[in-house]
Chains A and B, each alone.
Chain A
Amino acid sequence: MTSLSSSSATPILRARQLGKRVNARSGTLTILSGVELVVNPGESVAILGASGSGKSTLLGLLAGLDTESDGEVELNGISLKGLNEDQRAEVRADGVGFVFQSFQLLPALTALENVLLPLELSGYGAAQSQASRLLQAVGLSGREDHYPRQLSGGEQQRVAIARAFASQPKILFADEPTGNLDSHTGEAIIQLLFDLNRREHTTLVLVTHDAQLAARCQRRLQLVSGQLETLA
C-alpha cells in the first residue's frame, strides 16, 4: 500500500484501510476498500472520480456523516471509530464546515439567517455583524434579507460558502460545489472558495469530477474501483 501522506506535521484528517460495503438487491456491493489518506492542516486536496465512483460516499465517511464498514477515520485527531451518532456530531461541531452540490440552504431562513445559523448553534448570540461581513465577503451585501428561493443558484452557493466559513472551521468538505452551476458561475464560486480558504487557513477537501477545478488544489487524488490513487 502506498502512503499518500506528503508532510510530517500532525494530520488533521487520516483514513486507514477505509472500506464501505452496502447491501444491494443483488448482493453486497463494495463501494470503497482499503482507502488510505492523510491530509495536513492548511492543505487543499481534490478527490476526483467518475460519477458513481464513490466520491460522495468517501466524503461522507471522512466527515463522519456515515459509518465505515472497515478501517478507521481520524478527524481533528479524534478517531471516529466506535463513536455514536451524537459523539460524531460533536466532532463535527468543532471546526468542520460543508459545502454541498445542492446548496442545502434552509428555505425558511433568509440569506443572513442561514449564515448565522451555525454561529447561533454554537452559542454566539450576537454574531450578526460577523455574518453580514461574511455575506459581504462572498459578494452578497444587500441581499441579506432575501430567501433562498429569491436567489440564483450561484448566489445560493455563495450563501452556503459564507455559512461554511462562519464557524471558522479547521477543515472544509465540499462535494461537487459547482455541480449544479454553469461553468462561468462555477468558476467564480471556486475562486471564492479558494480565496477564503487561503485567508482563513482552512484545510480543504474537495470532491469533484472536474479536472480543471481539481487542478487548483495542491494535491489531487483519484478514486478508481474503490481505491484512491495519487495523480501527478
Chain B
Amino acid sequence: MTWTLALRLLAREWRSGELRLLTLALAIAITASCAVGFFTDRVERALLRQATTFLGADLALQSAHPSQLDLRRQARNAGLSYSEQQRFSTMVSAEGETLLVSVKAVDSAYPLRGDLRLSRDIQAQPFSQRGAPATGTLWAEPRVLQGLNASPEQPLTLGISQFTLGALIVNEPDRGGGLISLRPRLIINLDDLPDTRLVQPGSRVTYRYLFSGDAAAIQQLRDWLTPQLRPGERLLDVRQENPSIGGTMERARRYINLSGLLAVSMAAIAIAMAARRYTRRHYDTAALLRCLGQSQGRIMRLFCIQLLVAGTLATLLGIALGWLAQWGLVALLGELLQIELPPGGWRPALTGAATGLLILLATALPPLLQLASVSPLRVLRRELAPIAPASTLIYGLAISVAIGLLWLYSGDYSLAILLGGGSVAGTALLAGLGWLLLRLVGRIPGPLPWRLALKNLYRHPRASLTQLTAFGLTLAAMALILVVRTDLVRDWQAQLPEDAPNHFLINIQPWEVDLLKDFLLQSDVRHSGIHPMIRGRLSHINGKPAAEQIPPDAPGRRGIRRELNLSWSADLAPDNRIEAGRWWQPQDYGRPYISLEAKLAKDLGVTLGDQLRFSFGDRQIDAEILSLRSLDWSSLRPNFFVIFAPGSLADLPATSITSFYLPASRGPWLRQLVQQFPTLTLLEVAPLLENLRAVVAQVSLAAEYVLFFVLAAGITVLFAGLANSIDERLRESALLRTLGAGSTLIRRMLSIEFLLLGALSGLLAALLAQAGIFALYQLLQLAPRFHLLLWISAPLVGALLVWLAGRLATERILHQAPIALLRDHQD
C-alpha cells in the first residue's frame, strides 16, 4: 500500500516538476559516468588491440624449446584463439647466391592480431592476408630478392626444400625485436618446416605460442602460465615489447581514469546538491504528513521509495544516454580511423548504475532521515526546521563514495588516493580562501546593485561559501582535465612529428659513410646522423658471468639474452640525457668507457664505475660505466643501450646505421639511392609509424570526448548548485520588487551576484588546478608547467558560466508579477 501511494505521489511530484532537477542531475551524472566507462572500456580495448598488433597477439609465450604444456587445449578451454610460430635464422639460396634471413614458420591462425599486408609484386596494390602461405610457397620481404639478385619466379632453397615465392611482404604486424629487424624476413608454412630439416636438436629456434581473445580469459591464462614458466621461457605482452606504445597507453589510461574520477565526483556533488534541495523543499510535506497521523517509519518509506524509483528511472535513462553517446563516439572514431572498435561490455552500465544509486543513497539518505524527524509542530511554527547535517560532510561523503567506487573499478590506487586527498585538501583550502575573498570583495564600495548583490552573498555566508567551494572544485576539475588533455596531446604529437624518420638504412660499410653523407646532403634529405653499429653480447658483470648474476625471470635478462646493438660516439645525441656520471671529453677517447641506458642499468643492477665485459665474436672488451643515459625510444632515431667512447672499438668490424624522413612524394628517389649504394639495406618504417600515429590520434580523440563529459557533469553541478539557492534569491528579489525596485535593478543585482560568484570560484579553481597539475604530472610523466592562460581564463569562464546558468534560471520568473513569486515560494 505504501508502494502504490509512494508511486502515486511520485507521479504527481514529477508532473509538478518538483523532482525534475534531482532526476536530471542523476541522469546526467550517470550518463557521464557510463559514457566515460563505456568509452574507457571500448577505447581501451581498441587501443590495446591496436597495440597488440605489434605483438600479433594479446599474450605470447616465447620459449627456447618446445613447450611441455598442452597450450592448444588450454586455449580452447578458455575460449581463446591460438596460434604457433617458430622463428630462426638461416641461409636462403637461389642459383648460388645466398643470404642470411630470419624465417618465421606460421600456422593457419596467423596473425591473431594485426594486419598482414602482402602484394603480388612491388608495383601491385597491397592486400590483407590471413593464414599461412600455401605449402611449398613462401612470402618474402622485397629485400630478400634484392639481396639474392633473384627474380620473383626463381625457386628459393631453404634447407633441403624448394619454395616458390607466393607474395611479397609489405607490412608484417608482428615484426618484433624493436623497430628494426636486421635480417630480411621469410614466412613459410609451419607444415613445411619438418621437410626442410632446418630444425634439428640443438638448433637455435624460438618457439612462440600466441593467444588472443577476451581480456579476462587472457588474464586467467597469464596467471595460470606464470608459475609454470621454465628457464628459457617468458611471457610477452605489448607493454614490454614496445615501450613507446606501452607508455602512451599507460598515460591514456591514466588520463581516462582521471576524467572518470572527476566526472563522477562532480556528478556526486550535483546529486548531493539536488537531494539537499529536494529534502529542504519537503520539510512541509513531512510535517503535514506527521500531522495527518503518519508514523516516522512510514514517512521514511514513502520518501525512500520515491527517491529509489526516481533514481532507478534516472539510472536507466542515464545508461541509455551513455550507450547512445558511446555509439556517437564509435561513429566518430570509426570513420576517422577506419578501425573497428570492439563492442562495449556491460560492466560500465552496471558500474554506472551502481555508482549513481550508491551516490544517491549516500548523499540523499542523511537529509532524508531528517525528513522523518521534522516536528509536526512545523505546521504551526514555520521556523522549526531540522538541523541540517553540514553540507561539507554530505559533499565529502559524495566524493568519497565516488572515488571509492572508481578505485574499485579502475584499480588505479595512486590516482584515487591522490584525487581523494586532493579534493579533501582542496575543499578545505577553497573554503578558507573563499571566505577571505568574500570578505575582501565586500569592502569594495559600489552602486546600489553592487551593494545589494554583496548583501545577498553575505546574508547567507554558509550557502555562499558552499557554492563557492562547490563551483571552485567543479571549475578546477574542468580546467584540470582541459589542461592535461592539451599537454598530453601536445606531448604525444611531439613524439611523432610529421617529419619523423620513416626510413632506416643499415649495413652501411665504413668506406660508404662519407659518400652517403654527401649524397644525402645533395639530395636535400635530412638524416639523424650516421652511427656505427656493432653487435655484441654482455658476458660478465664486474668479472663474474652475467648469466649467474641475473635471475632467469628478472627484467635484466633482456640485456644478456640477446646480442645488443652497440655504438660509439663523440657527441651525445640530442634526445639523450645524462642522468648520472659524465659524458667523455677528448682525453677519454680510446679508453674503455661506456655510457649505459639508465633503465637497463637498473635492471642489470649496475651503476657508475662498474665493469662490464662484452664479447664480439672471439674478442672481449672490458669497459667501465662512465655515465647513465635516458633516451626516447619513440623518437625513431637509431638509439643504443650501450655507447662506447670513440676509439675504444676502433679495430672491430662495424657497419653503420641512419634514419631519415622522406615524404611519400619523393618515393622515386629511393631507387636512385639503391642504385648508388647497392649493398645498403633500406627499411621502410612508414607502416609502423602509421600504426603509432593511429594510436596517438585515437588517444587524442578519446581525450577530447571524455573531456566533453567532464564538462557536462561540471555544468550539472553549476545548475544544481544555483537551483539550491534560487528560491531564496527569487524570494528576495520579489520582496525588492514589492518595495518598488525595477526589474533592471534586480537583473543587475542578480547578474553581479552570479558574475562575482563565478569569477571568485574561477580564481580559486585556477589555484587548485595549478596545484593539481603539479601533483598529477608525476603520474602522467609530463613536465609540470605554469599555465598563465589558466589563471586568466578560469575566472572569466567561471563568471560567464555561472552568470549564464543563473540568468537562465531566473530570467523567466523576473517577468512574473511579484505576488506570484511570493505565493509560489512562500514559507
What residues make up the interface of A, taking CB atoms closer than 8 Å to B? 56, 59-60, 63, 65-66, 85-86, 89-94, 96, 98, 100, 102, 104, 106-110, 113, 117-118, 120-123, 125, 147, 149, 167, 175
Contacts and interface: CB of A to CB of B under 8 A. Distances in A.
A86 B372 CA distance: 11
B290 interface: yes
A59 B4 CA distance: 33
Contacts of B295: 86, 89-90
A29 B382 CA distance: 20
Interface stretch (B244-252, B281-289, B431-439, B502-510): B281-289
A108 B5 contact: no
B553 to A, nearest CB: 67
Contact of A89 (B12, B16, B290, B826): B290
15 contacts: A60-B377, A65-B377, A66-B377, A85-B296, A85-B376, A86-B297, A92-B293, A104-B291, A104-B379, A107-B824, A108-B12, A110-B12, A121-B292, A122-B293, A147-B16
A4 B532 CA distance: 118
Contacts of A66: 375, 377
Contacts of B376: 65, 85, 89
Contacts of B4: 125
A121 B380 contact: no
Contacts of B381: 56, 60
Given A106-B285, A109-B16, A121-B5, A93 B293 contact: yes
Contact of A149 (B287, B377, B382, B823): B823
B16 A98 contact: no
B107 to A, nearest CB: 69
B18 to A, nearest CB: 4
A92 B293 CA distance: 5
B428 interface: no
B292 A100 contact: no
B195 interface: no
B313 interface: no
Interface size class of chain B, counting residues whose CB lies under 8 Å from the partner chain: 20 to 34
Interface in B625-666: none
Nearest to B295: A86
Contacts of A102: 382, 826
Contacts of B1: 123
Contact of A120 (B8, B284, B288, B293): B8
A120 B10 CA distance: 14
Given A56-B381, A60-B380, A113-B12, A92 B291 contact: yes
Contact of A92 (B284, B292, B375): B292
Given A56-B381, A104-B288, A149 B293 contact: no
Contacts of A104: 284, 287-288, 291, 379
A65 B826 CA distance: 22
B40 to A, nearest CB: 39
B572 interface: no
Given A65-B376, A104-B379, A106-B285, A93 B294 contact: yes
Interface in B296-320: 296-297
B1 to A, nearest CB: 6
A210 B5 CA distance: 39
A149 B822 CA distance: 10
Interface string B812-827: 0000000010011010
B214 interface: no
A85 B284 CA distance: 17
B13 interface: yes
B379 A98 contact: yes
Nearest to B299: A89
Contacts of B820: 149
Contacts of B291: 63, 65, 92, 98, 104
Nearest to A86: B295
A60 B375 CA distance: 11
Given A65-B376, A65-B380, 14 more contacts: A56-B380, A60-B377, A60-B380, A66-B375, A85-B290, A85-B296, A86-B295, A90-B293, A92-B293, A102-B826, A104-B284, A108-B12, A108-B18, A121-B293
A21 to B, nearest CB: 15
B16 A108 contact: yes
